């Protein structure tokens, strides 16, 4: 029937217009998941009973003619660091393998009120630390475009499942690029909102000043649709911003005539692969054809974003992960001699090596004698990076860059050298440092048929402009219409 190939917007309209029952949609997806999961392995947990239950309720409401939520009947998935009451939330870690939250994250509650349907939880890098989903303690997720390649990370499961039509949308989290990078690797749309726009309550914290919940969708309109449900102040999240409610779908077809686009030259330098550079140059040409004014600019401090990010995120992570001590929840060793031994065994056996590496880096950066040289220094560099962007946005509406320096690489290729993987975050990280919104959209394919992503950067709380620009580019091309068939390219 090809139901799984539709977009979230199309499916919600079909259900609302009684063209199809919500239960039929879930059944169709579950069949497709069964066929494809042995290859992709995007899920860590499927919740078919919950999905059917929620879908039945939507069908009952429709039969009674009751008013529906904005996402009524649309099946989706949540990254496994987003708390789902009564359903295991593991962060793809042995530490939380059996952890069942007593409450749901605000984003989950909001999706519930909008009557979206929960298909399951998606695989991720352990505690969101990684760029390939290879650090998941459970299993590896494959890139639907080439099963030998990584889907990206840390929201690799969420990106892969949307790319493979296993879910109409999925939520991820983005601390240094973890929604945008896998979106680009998997040929889907990945949105990271402005810091503070979407509540972090119930989202397991990695780096509290950088984390944001983001969306993985098949197209830009779906991104706006889901953001409409997620955005908004939450009194349970003290870092949540109190901004006016915006309808991101309204006026999304505005177009980009006269839009001023800045192209930061530092994002097009050494390290960029030829295929990505080619696709980006063609994309900039397309943007000009669509009426935008593109100019080269400079963000001189942007090259310092990556080292600053690794200090800030690791320092905050070392603090956030101190709560995992085997006492109130999580992994506890069978035998231990005393409290100290319990703590050390729980953490050493419960955490993987990437998590330990970042905790130690952060602990070192914050330790007495190092705090000024590392953490305080990074916070000062953060100010400089933010000022660079503030200056740029005085003149330009959006900025454009590649999302990643290359297309997806082979599974196992970079896992030996952590620094090599860290360097791949080079274009995404500055946005988290500056708190800015960003979106990755499909912008072409390499000669090996691997997706290439274009990143658009917006000013603080200017998601409307960002989505309008992304939509215009998307509709002026047809990259988003191509879907993978596990190594083969089909429209």
Name residues whose C-beta falls within 8 Å of residue 15's C-beta, 6 or more positions apart in sequence.
21, 22, 25, 58, 62, 72, 73, 74
Cis preceding linkage at 472, omega within 30:
no
In the complex, the smallest distance separating the C-beta of residue 328 from another protein, rounded to whole angstroms, is 6
In the complex, the smallest distance separating the C-beta of residue 174 from another protein, rounded to whole angstroms, is 14
Binders of another protein in range 215-254 (CB under 8 A): 235, 238-239, 241
Catalytic residue among 90, 93, 136, 178: 178
In the complex, the smallest distance separating the C-beta of residue 40 from another protein, rounded to whole angstroms, is 30
Q: Which 3-state string (H, E, C) describes 48-66?
A: HHHHHHHHHHHHHHHHHCC
User: Between residues 9 and 310, which has the closer beta carbon with respect to another protein?
Assistant: 310
Q: Is 154 a catalytic residue?
A: yes
- CB-based burial of residue 121 (10 Å sphere; 0-12 exposed, 13-18 middle, 19+ buried)? buried
Binders of another protein in range 177-196 (CB under 8 A): 195-196
> Rule CB under 8 A: is residue 490 a binding residue for another protein?
no
User: Between residues 51 and 321, which has the closer beta carbon with respect to another protein?
Assistant: 321
| Residue where the block lists tokens 């992709």 | 40
- 3-class DSSP state of 410: strand
> Rule CB under 8 A: is residue 330 a binding residue for another protein?
yes
CA dist., res. 290 & res. 255, Å (int) = 8
User: Between residues 179 and 287, which has the closer beta carbon with respect to another protein?
Assistant: 179
> Rule CB under 8 A: is residue 289 a binding residue for another protein?
no
CA dist., res. 128 & res. 151, Å (int) = 14
- 3-class DSSP state of 113: helix
User: According to CB under 8 A, which one of 12, 382, 480, 483 is a site residue for another protein?
Assistant: 382
Name residues whose C-beta falls within 8 Å of residue 273's C-beta, 6 or more positions apart in sequence.
405, 406, 407, 446
- DSSP string computed for 191-243: EEPPTTSB--TTBPPS-TTT-EEEEEESSHHHHHHHHHHHBS--TT-TT---P
User: According to CB under 8 A, which one of 56, 254, 357, 482 is a site residue for another protein?
Assistant: 357
Binders of another protein in range 421-480 (CB under 8 A): 422, 433-435
Name residues whose C-beta falls within 8 Å of residue 297's C-beta, 6 or more positions apart in sequence.
262, 263, 264, 265, 392, 395, 396, 399
Q: Measuring CA to CA, which residue among 179, 192, 210 is closest to residue 386?
A: 210
Would you say 479 and 442 are in contact if contact means Cβ atoms under 8 Å apart?
Answer: yes
CA dist., res. 33 & res. 423, Å (int) = 34
User: According to CB under 8 A, which one of 50, 290, 342, 415 is a site residue for another protein?
Assistant: 342
User: According to CB under 8 A, which one of 191, 359, 392, 457 is a site residue for another protein?
Assistant: 359
User: According to CB under 8 A, which one of 307, 415, 475, 486 is a site residue for another protein?
Assistant: 307
In the complex, the smallest distance separating the C-beta of residue 486 from another protein, rounded to whole angstroms, is 34
How many residues in total does the chain contain?
A: 491
> Rule CB under 8 A: is residue 319 a binding residue for another protein?
no
Q: Is 440 a catalytic residue?
A: no
> Rule CB under 8 A: is residue 415 a binding residue for another protein?
no
User: Between residues 131 and 446, which has the closer beta carbon with respect to another protein?
Assistant: 131
Residue 463, both tokens: 């998601």
In the complex, the smallest distance separating the C-beta of residue 347 from another protein, rounded to whole angstroms, is 5
Q: How many CA atoms lie within 13 A of 380 on its CB side?
A: 7
> Rule CB under 8 A: is residue 344 a binding residue for another protein?
yes
Catalytic residue among 104, 154, 199, 318: 154
In the complex, the smallest distance separating the C-beta of residue 280 from another protein, rounded to whole angstroms, is 25
User: Between residues 56 and 94, which has the closer beta carbon with respect to another protein?
Assistant: 94
Q: Is 79 a catalytic residue?
A: yes
User: According to CB under 8 A, which one of 308, 421, 441, 452 is a site residue for another protein?
Assistant: 308
CA dist., res. 52 & res. 196, Å (int) = 33
User: Between residues 225 and 241, which has the closer beta carbon with respect to another protein?
Assistant: 241
Q: Measuring CA to CA, which residue among 52, 48, 81, 90 is closest to residue 158?
A: 81
Catalytic residue among 21, 79, 192, 221: 79
User: Between residues 278 and 377, which has the closer beta carbon with respect to another protein?
Assistant: 377
| Residue where the block lists tokens 């990945």 | 190
User: Between residues 52 and 342, which has the closer beta carbon with respect to another protein?
Assistant: 342
Q: Are strands 438-445 and 483-485 parallel, antiparallel or unpaired?
A: unpaired
Binders of another protein in range 115-154 (CB under 8 A): none
Please give the positions annotated as active site.
79, 154, 178
Binding site for another protein (CB under 8 A): 98-100, 102-103, 195-196, 209, 235, 238-239, 241, 301, 303-304, 307-308, 310-311, 318, 325-330, 332, 336, 338-340, 342-345, 347-348, 351, 356-357, 359-361, 363-364, 367, 374, 376-384, 386, 418-419, 422, 433-435
């Amino acid at each position: 029937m090809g139901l799984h190939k539709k977009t979230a917007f199309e499916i919600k309209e079909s259900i609302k217009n009684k063209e199809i029952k919500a239960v039929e949609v879930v059944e169709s997806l579950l069949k497709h998941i069964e066929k494809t999961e042995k290859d992709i392995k995007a899920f860590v947990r499927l919740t078919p009973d919950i999905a059917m239950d929620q879908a039945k309720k939507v069908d009952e409401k429709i039969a009674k003619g009751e008013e529906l939520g904005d996402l009524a009947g649309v099946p989706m998935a949540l990254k496994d660091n987003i708390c789902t009451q009564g359903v295991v939330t593991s962060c793809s870690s042995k530490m939380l393998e059996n952890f069942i939250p007593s409450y749901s994250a605000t984003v989950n509650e909001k999706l519930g009120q909008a009557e979206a349907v929960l298909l399951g939880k998606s695989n991720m890098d352990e505690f969101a630390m990684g760029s390939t989903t290879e650090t998941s303690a459970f299993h590896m997720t494959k890139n639907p475009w080439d099963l030998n390649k990584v889907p990206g990370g840390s929201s690799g499961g969420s990106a892969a499942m949307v790319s493979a039509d296993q879910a109409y949308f999925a939520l991820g989290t983005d601390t240094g690029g973890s929604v945008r990078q896998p979106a680009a690797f998997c040929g889907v749309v990945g949105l990271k909102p402005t810091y503070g726009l979407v509540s972090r309550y119930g989202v397991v914290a990695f780096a509290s000043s950088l984390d944001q919940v983001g969306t993985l969708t098949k197209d830009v309109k779906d991104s706006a649709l889901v953001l409409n449900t997620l955005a908004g102040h939450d009194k349970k999240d003290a870092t949540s911003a109190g901004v006016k409610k915006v309808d991101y779908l309204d006026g999304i077809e505005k177009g980009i005539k006269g839009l001023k686009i800045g192209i930061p030259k530092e994002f097009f330098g050494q390290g960029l692969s030829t295929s990505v550079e080619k696709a980006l140059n063609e994309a900039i040409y397309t943007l000009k054809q669509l009426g935008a004014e593109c100019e080269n600019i400079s963000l001189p401090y942007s090259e310092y974003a990556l080292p600053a990010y690794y200090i800030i995120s690791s320092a905050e992570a070392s603090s956030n992960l101190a709560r995992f001590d085997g006492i109130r929840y999580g992994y506890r060793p069978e035998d231990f001699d005393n409290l100290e031994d319990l703590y050390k065994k729980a953490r050493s056996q419960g955490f993987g090596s990437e998590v330990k590496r970042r905790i130690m880096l952060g602990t070192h950066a914050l330790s007495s004698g190092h705090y000024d040289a590392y953490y305080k220094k990074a916070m000062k560099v953060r100010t400089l990076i933010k000022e660079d962007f503030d200056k740029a946005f005085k003149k330009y509406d959006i900025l454009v860059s590649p999302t990643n320096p290359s297309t997806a690489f082979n599974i196992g290729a970079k896992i030996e050298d952590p620094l090599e993987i860290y360097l791949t975050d080079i274009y995404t990280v500055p946005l988290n440092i500056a708190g800015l919104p960003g979106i990755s959209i499909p912008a072409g394919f390499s000669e090996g048929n691997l997706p290439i992503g274009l990143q658009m950067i917006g000013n603080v709380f200017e998601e409307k402009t960002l989505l309008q620009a992304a939509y215009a580019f998307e509709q002026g091309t047809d990259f988003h219409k191509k879907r993978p068939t596990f190594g083969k390219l089909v429209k």
